[in-house]
Amino acid sequence: RLGAAWPQPMRHDQRQRTHPGAPLGYTAAVELSSDRLLRGNKQKARSSRPAGGGSRFRIGGRKEEAERQRKLGLIRTPVLSCYRIAVISLKGGVGKTTTTTALGATLASERQDKILAIDANPDAGTLGRRVRRETGATIRDLVQAIPHLHSYMDIRRFTSQAPSGLEIIANDVDPAVSTAFNDEDYRRAIDVLGRQYPVILTDSGTGLLYSAMRGVLDLADQLIIVSTPSVDGASSASTTLDWLAAHGYAELVARSITVISGVRETGKMIKVDDIVSHFRTRCREVVVVPFDEHLAAGAEVDLDMMRPKVREAYFDLAAVVAEDFARHQQAQGLWTSDGN
């Protein structure tokens, strides 16, 4: 809708039974919010960002603190261009959207710049439900408004921001509309967004052949494959790596990260260590995220409500991702080998 009026952000407290004219699914996002559905859920007014440059996450004693500081230094590596992270899986329900949101929130809470996650899932993606919605605008609306986007505040009209500082751009929950978001649209969106956001995460769909996926893979600096600790989940993730390596993405696969997501509870029959060992032969690193009741609820992601070990796992994942920041910038000629 070029030339049409931009959607104005709607405050979350403007609730009513229906929202005439609102995008499909927006009413559900408001009326089926975590405020209404989660027991004992209380909203905190404060920001999750640390004050005075300190980290919000602390573990263990002196030795552990030294290791945490090392990882924190990695996470806070300056990014002088735009680092793009693609989060993918061939199976639905494995924790891909949760991984995108929790990783993005961790990066946003520990860094001082802007972090964005966008929903490129053509099958009515749910990324927009993982933060408190501030606008009904979607990625399609942003693409149509690209000629008018000249500053960060122009783009901010289309994003919703979590207390961590993470911003998200939702996709349309109507598959008839979300499938129309194609390769060209994705590339145009990333071109504009990359000028304002140093780190962009993309929550992709469950297929490898839909139009926008080519752009997601071609532009990705880091690939994260999400699997469950199960036989079919691990097999599907490994097959995904096979397909990508055979179709021109072998280098991306070699420096990829596998996340074994415990979003779904599993019994003790699965040998998770064997799954980890398999993917360590194929990827740069493997991170295991334990089951967490807060994340399994499928509501807005709140770092403070995660179990400590789960927060630690996402902190570790953020550090592993950040290990590649220097390589990326050296490849672009922005850094020398000594980091200057």
User: Is there a domain that residue 3 lies in?
Assistant: no
CATH number reported for the structural domain that contains residue 201 in this entry: 3.40.50.300
User: Is there a domain that residue 62 lies in?
Assistant: no
CA dist 16 and 18 (Å) reads 5
User: Is there a domain that residue 5 lies in?
Assistant: no
pLDDT tens digit sequence for 269-318: 788 889 999 999 999 999 999 999 999 888 899 999 999 999 999 999 99
Q: Higher-confidence residue: 173 or 70? A: 70
pLDDT at 46 over 50: no
Q: Is the overall model pTM greater than 0.85, yes or no? A: no
User: Is there a domain that residue 12 lies in?
Assistant: no
> Which structural domain range is residue 162 located in?
26-44+79-331
Strand ranges for 180-316 from DSSP E: 199-203, 222-227, 257-261, 285-289
Task: Count the alpha carbons within 13 Å of 90 in the hemisphere toward its beta carbon.
Answer: 15
User: Is there a domain that residue 61 lies in?
Assistant: no
In the chain, % of residues over pLDDT 70 = 77
User: Is there a domain that residue 9 lies in?
Assistant: no
Closest C-alpha among 266, 265, 244, 264 to residue 255 = 244
User: Is there a domain that residue 201 lies in?
Assistant: yes
CA dist 16 and 4 (Å) reads 26
User: Is there a domain that residue 57 lies in?
Assistant: no
DSSP label at residue 58 = -
pLDDT tens digit sequence for 69-124: 999 999 999 999 999 999 999 888 888 999 999 999 999 999 999 999 999 988 77
Query: Would you list the DSSP string of 138-193?
Result: BHHHHHHTGGG--SHHHHHTT-EE-TTS-EEEBPPS-HHHHTT--HHHHHHHHHHH
How many structural domains comprise the chain?
1
pLDDT at 33 over 80: no
